[in-house]
Every structure is written in structure tokens, then in C-alpha cells.
Structure 1
Amino acid sequence: MNTRLYILSMVVLLTIFSTAWAAPSKDIYVYKDENGVLVFSDTPRKGAERVTLNAPVMNMPSVDTSILDEVDDLEQVKFSIAITTPTQEETIRDNTGSVHVSGQVKPRFLQGHSVQLFMDGQAHGEPQSSSLFALRNVDRGEHSLVLKLLNSEGEVLASSKPITFFMHRRSVITGP
């Protein structure tokens, strides 16, 4: 059973019992739902049994249920993104000029997020929902890459450290 659901069930159960102890005239009923889960209620229904409480009145401390509150705190999550290939100052020897770029997003890639690749300071293509890119016909020489993680509004959540790589291609003029 999910921990959050279990805690919530226990809080509800304690609330029902503490209310019943404080006001003994209120009846409590128990039954199993279609999934076989015990359900406690103050409303009778077919198949429910009345619960008899023999405990004295108890004053129970209030329970902090704030951990059960679901808050959409994506702004508080510290995302990071890194380029895993190519590595820093790697020389790529490919006469077609092909480079495969891959990145890693932490803690995880969420729906609505996208990744934008920048080569030599210029956006390469459109943002996409994957951190894998294929560059074609990259010129000879030194190049820099940066990945940026964007939210659904296009705001930058994280940027990678720049990676420098060197493309080595056979030259028509000078040969290898």
C-alpha cells in the first residue's frame, strides 16, 4: 500500500475513533468495499456492521497531516543537465561531419520539459523531448556545445557546462 495512502487512512481512522470516543452517541459502521479494503463510516449501509467501542474517552493530540499536502513545487526542484557525449576536448574523426550528442537530466525528465542544443552559441533545431541529438555535416575545427533544459513555457530550468570538441574531416584541398 502506498505510504501516503496508509498515513491518510490511519489519520481518518483515528479521527473517526476520537470523534466516537468524544461523542459516544454517534455510531460507527465498518464494511469491506469491492476491493476488500475495510471502510469505516458513520453512515449505515447494506452489509455494514456496527462497531462497539468499549474504550474510555481519550484526548488525542492533533496529527500533523502537512506531509500529505501535494504541492506543485517544480520551481523548488533543482534540475541539472549535462552533456555525456562527446566528452570535453574530444576529437571526432568523421568525414561526413556527424556528431552524436547525448545529455543527462537530473533528477528526471518531466512531461512538458524539452531540451535545446546550442552549437557555437547558436540554437540547433527546435527544442525536443529527448536529450539525444545527431549533428550532420559539422565543419572541421573547434566547436562548443551547450544543452538547456526548458519548461513548458520555454523558460530555462538548467544549462549544461559548455563542452568543446574538435571535428577532424578529410580536406578536399590538403587530403587527410
Structure 2
Amino acid sequence: MDRPTITMLLCLVMVNQAMGGQALYRTIDARGHVSFSDDPSRGGEPVELAPISVVPALPASSTVTRAASSDADGDAPSRTYDVFTIAAPDDDTTLPTGFAGNVRVRLALRPALREGHKLRLLLDGEIVRPAAREPVIELVNLVRGEHRLRAELLDARGQVLRRTPAVTLHVQRASVNLPQNPHRPDSHGQADR
């Protein structure tokens, strides 16, 4: 069956249920178009419809429990915080050679950090600094290559409440193959002294 026919059939099933189980008839015209009606005088054949399946909703208490357990994994929004993300640098940012591997990571958090909660930053899966309350973290002298940043929000017991999505950071550094820094204004294409 094509999509419009299926859609029409589903609509008619719902209408049939709303009409209290009245009979439904199917007719096919000379061009092969199928139509449905509740009028037997149009010469259609009766259609038997199966009852609609109904699944009861989960109680509200189990929904809250499931959301709380997801928060502990850091994959779902915390009920305590609406926003927790790495605001800077943007994902897939490249630090040019002139930055010497230094970057300021800024976390966005709303509402403000609650009493007893702390923030920590992970660089390539390793903790960069002990948990603290400051939402700005300075990273210095990062090695050349690709790095993944992720922040964690910790409760008063040190348990992870939430994790940010990972941010990829590309760091360019001068090398022995390129000793001059093309981004430094005083190099003018000449080797560093």
C-alpha cells in the first residue's frame, strides 16, 4: 500500500473507534483507487478492524527515579541545572602556533553553582586540576595535536552529577622543522634569534 492509503486507513480506524465500532466498508474504483466508508449502500466489502492497543503510562514516581539515575551518568540534563556546557573554546577550535598551547576554558552554568558543588576539567580523559568552584580554567603549554576537553559537575560528596559534551581542540606548535613562528609579528619570515 502507498503512504496516503495507509494514512487514510489509520484515520478511518480512529474514526471507527470513536463511532463506537460501526462497520467500515472498502471500495475500489475503476482506476484502482481504494476508498473507505461507513455507508454500505456504496457497494463496498466489510472490513474487520483489530482493536487498538493501549499501553498504560508509567507512574510519575518511576519517571523521576529514571531521570535521577540518568543524571548520575551525566548523559541527561540535571534537574538542578538547566545549562552545563563548555562555552569557550568552541568545538573543533584550532589554537595557532602563536598561542603557545595556552587556552582559557570557560564553563557556562545556569543557575549559579550551588553550595558544596564543584567543577573539574578533563583533558583527554585525565583530570587537569582538582575540583574547584571557578568556571574559568587556564590551560598552559598544551602539546601539539588534537585534545578532547570535558567538564564534570560534582556534588558535595564528589559524585558526578553531570558531564558536558566533549569539545575537540587542535593545538599547533612550532617544531624543529618550522623553528620560526609565522604568527608572531616581529618574525617577518626570519628565524627566531
Q: Does structure 2 conserve the Cα–Cα contact (< 8 Å) formed by 1:95 and 1:170?
A: no
1:127 has 2:131 as partner: yes
1:89 has 2:92 as partner: yes
Aligned pair count reads 102
Task: Name the counterpart of 1:165.
Answer: 169
Query: What is the CA–CA distance in structure 2 between the aligned matches of 1:95 and 1:89, rounded to whole Å?
Result: 16
Task: Name the counterpart of 1:106.
Answer: 110
The CA deviation at 1:166 is 0.5
Q: Alignment identity in percent?
A: 27
Query: What is the CA–CA distance in structure 1 between the aligned matches of 2:167 and 2:146, rounded to whole Å?
Result: 10
The CA deviation at 1:86 is 0.6
TM score, norm. by length of structure 1: 0.54
Which protein is richer in strand relative to its size?
1
The CA deviation at 1:95 is 4.5
1:150 has 2:157 as partner: no
Q: What 5-or-longer segments of structure 1 have no aligned partner?
A: 1-74
Q: Which amino acid aligns with 1:153?
A: R
Query: What is the CA–CA distance in structure 1 between the aligned matches of 2:178 and 2:100, rounded to whole Å?
Result: 16
Instruction: String of CA shifts for 1:49-88, please: whole Å, max 9, x gaps.
Output: xxxxxxxxxxxxxxxxxxxxxxxxxx98342410011101
Deviates more, 1:155-164 or 1:166-175: 166-175
Which protein is richer in helix relative to its size?
2
Q: What 5-or-longer segments of structure 2 have no aligned partner?
A: 1-71, 73-77, 182-193
TM score, norm. by length of structure 2: 0.49
Query: What is the CA–CA distance in structure 2 between the aligned matches of 1:129 and 1:95, rounded to whole Å?
Result: 26
Query: What is the CA–CA distance in structure 1 between the aligned matches of 2:176 and 2:117, rounded to whole Å?
Result: 42
The CA deviation at 1:174 is 3.1
